[in-house]
Chain A
C-alpha cells in the first residue's frame, strides 16, 4: 500500500513544542488503551452491539483534535471511538453507550457505530457508510462554519460521497475532509475495488494531499490546508483491529506500527520518561473506569 512516511518532512516533531507532543501522546494512549480494554473485556452478553475498533490508527484523531481543535461540527461514521475521545467526549458516555445503557452518549441507540455527542459537536451517523459526507458538506454550506468530515477509503467509493465532494469543490464550503485509508474494505483491498486514485480523481480540484498517519505530519498539513478550505487529506494507516469485533485482523500484516514509531520519535525528543508515565497513567485510568462502571452495572442489575 503506502509507506509509513508518505510525504514526510524531515525532523518535523522538533518544530512542535514538547508539550504539544506530549498532549498528542496522551490522546493517542487514550484512544489506544480504550479500544484495547474493550478487546480485553469483550464477551457475548456484555456488549450486545457490533464493535468497531481502531487500534493502530489512533494517531489520526489525536492529531486532528490538536490541529483543528474546535470545528463547529464533526461528521464521522462507524469506528469513531477515537474521534469522540480525542475531541473531549466523556469516557463514561462511551462506556455506557457500548454497554447499551440509557446514560450512554446516544442513550444506547447508537452503540459503537453511531456515536453522538452534542457537547463536542459530534453528529450521529445513521450506519450507511459515507452519508456523513453530503450532510457535512451541506452543514458547512448552510452555516459557513468550519466543519470536519471523516470517512474511510471504502466510503469514498459511495456515489453520494463522490457527488458530495464534487459539490463541495463547486460551492467551496469550509470543510476539511479526512479519509482514513487502511487500504481495505473488510478484507478487500483498494486495488481490487477501483482503478482510480483518491487524490488525483476524487478530490475534484480541491487542495488535497496524501500522507501517512505520522501525527506530526498530520498536524502540519491540517494547519496548512485549513487555511484554504475545502480541502482533502488522505491518510494512510495500518489498522490492527479487524473490520468488526475485537479480533486482530489476521488477513493483513500491518506494514508499520505507528504507536511504536511515535514512541521512537518521542525518545528522540528526550521525552522517554514522560512518555512512559503517560502510558501507565492512561492505561490505569481507563482500566479503573471500566472496572468501576462494570461493578456498578452488575450491582444495579
Chain B
C-alpha cells in the first residue's frame, strides 16, 4: 500500500478484489455516476463484475438474492439508507430467512450508506441518516456499523466466511478516515458513551468538551449491532460508570439503540439511555432537519444526566 488507505479507498479496493478474483459482483443503481459512490465502487465492466441495476428499487434487491443463490456473493450498494424502505423486502423476507426455511445460504453484503447535511445541502425526509433499525429486528440478519478501514474489512471478511446476509450501515462522513478509533476505557468515570456509526466522531468531540468541564467519559464503540453481545468491555466500562451509559445513534431511537440498551440493562444493573434522531420527520429547510446528536447536544445531555441523578 503506498499510503494509509481511507475507508472509501479500502472499500473500493476490497470490492475490486472481490469482483476480479473471487467471481464476486457489486451491484446497485447509478454506481458509475460522478464520484463512483464517494469513491467506494471501482470502475469495472459488467463482465468484470459491476452490475448497474435498473431504477426499480424493490426488484433490485431480488436481483441480489438471485446472484447470491448462484454463488456470486453480491455486494449490494444502496446510496442512501432511506431507500432501504423499498430494498428491504427481499433482504429481510428472503435472504435472512432462507437458511432456516430451506437450509441454504443467501450471502449478500448490503452496503447501505447514511448521509446528512453536515456535508452541505440538507437531505430531507426520504434519504435521511441511518436506517439500520429496520434490519436489526429481522431474524437471520447480521447488522454491523463500521467506520474505520480495519473495522470495515473485519466485517467484510466475516461475511466472506459466513453464509447469511450482512447489513453494513455505513456513513459518508466516515469515508475520509484512515486511522482506527479504539475504545477509551478508564476506571471510575462519570459515564460510558456507546456511539454507533457517525456519532462516534461526535462522541470523541463531546468527550473532550466534557473533560474540560470536569466530566470523565468512557467511549465503547458499537460496531456489531446484531447479534448484539454485551461483552466484557461493555460490562467493565458500564460497571465502573457513575451515571451508567449513553447510546448514541444515527438512526431513530426506537430501533437498534433501545434494544441494545435493554440488553445492557438486563446484564448490568445500570441505567442506560439513548440519544439518536429525534421523533420527527426531517424537512429540507436547514432548521427543519433531523440530524444525529451533535457533540454539543451530547455534552449537554450528559450534564443533564449528572444533574438529575443523585
Given contacts A131-B90, A134-B90, A142-B72, contact A167 B101 (CB under 8 A): no
Please indicate the chain A residues that have their CB under 8 angstroms from the CB of B72 in the complex.
142
Taking CB as reference atom, which chain A residue is nearest B106?
Answer: A135
Identify whether the interface residues of B are mostly helix, strand, loop, or mixed.
Answer: helix
B34-42, B91-99, B158-166: which lies at the interface: B91-99
Q: From B61, which residue of chain A is reached at the shortest CB distance?
A: A134
Binds B, one of A19-27, A85-93, A108-116, A184-192: A108-116
Chain B residues lying within 8 Å of A55, measured Cβ to Cβ, are none
Q: Which residues of A contact B56 (CB under 8 A)?
A: 159-160, 162-164, 166-167
Q: Which 3 A-B pairs have the closest CB atoms?
A: A138-B66, A134-B62, A163-B56
Most B CB within 10 A of own CB, among A124, A128, A137: A124
In contact, A126 and B94 (Cβ under 8 angstroms): yes
List chain B residues, Cβ under 8 A from A118. 104
Where chain A touches its partner, the secondary structure class is helix
**What are 16 A-B contacts defined by CB distance under 8 Å?**
A109-B102, A114-B102, A116-B101, A124-B101, A126-B94, A134-B66, A135-B65, A135-B66, A135-B94, A138-B62, A139-B66, A141-B66, A142-B66, A143-B70, A160-B59, A161-B59
Are B94's CB and A137's CB within 8 A?
no
* Interface residue B103 (Cβ < 8 Å from any Cβ of A): yes
Q: How far is the CA of A140 from the CA of B69 in the complex (A)?
A: 10
Number of residues of chain A lying within 8 A (CB) of chain B: 34
Q: How many A-B residue pairs have CB under 8 A?
A: 102
- Counting chain A CB atoms within 10 Å of each CB, the highest count among B62, B65, B66 belongs to B66
Q: Which residues of B contact A (CB under 8 A)?
A: 25, 53-54, 56, 58-60, 62-67, 69-72, 89-90, 93-94, 97-98, 100-104
Bound-state CA distance A208–B72 (Å) is: 30
Q: Tell me the bound Cα distance from A118 to B105 in angstroms.
A: 13
Chain A residues near B62: list those with CB within 8 A: 131, 133-135, 137-138, 160, 164
A159 touches B98 (CB 8 A): no
State the CA gap A155–B101 with chains docked (Å): 22
**B93 in contact with A128 (CB, 8 Å):** yes
Chain A nearest Cβ from B204, distance in angstroms: 42
Q: A138-B64, A138-B70 are in contact. Are A167 and B59 (CB under 8 A)?
A: yes
Closest chain A residue, CB of each to CB of B69: A139
Contact of A164 with B102 at beta-carbon distance under 8 Å, contacts A131-B90, A138-B64 already known: no
Which chain B residues border A143 with CB–CB below 8 Å?
A: 70
Q: Kindly state the separation between the CA atoms of A115 and B52 in the bound complex, as whole angstroms.
A: 32
Q: With the chains together, A143 CA to B71 CA distance in Å? A: 9
- A160–B63 Cα distance when bound, in Å, is 10
A170 at interface, CB cutoff 8 A: yes
B59 touches A164 (CB 8 A): yes
Task: Collect the chain B residues with CB atoms within 8 Å of residue A116's CB.
Answer: 101-102
Report the minimal beta-carbon distance from B266 to chain A, rounded to whole angstroms: 30
A194 to chain B, nearest CB (A): 18
- The answer, yes or no, to whether A136 is at the interface (CB within 8 Å) is yes
Q: Which residues of B contact A137 (CB under 8 A)?
A: 62-63, 66
Q: Which residue of B lies closest to A75 (CB)?
A: B66
Query: In the bound complex, what is the Cα–Cα distance between A160 and B59 (angstroms)?
Result: 4
Q: Contact between A107 and B59 (Cβ–Cβ < 8 Å)?
A: no
* B85 → chain A closest CB, angstroms: 14
Interface residues of A in 118-134 (CB under 8 A from B): 118, 123-124, 126-128, 131, 133-134
- Residue of B whose beta carbon sits closest to that of A123: B69
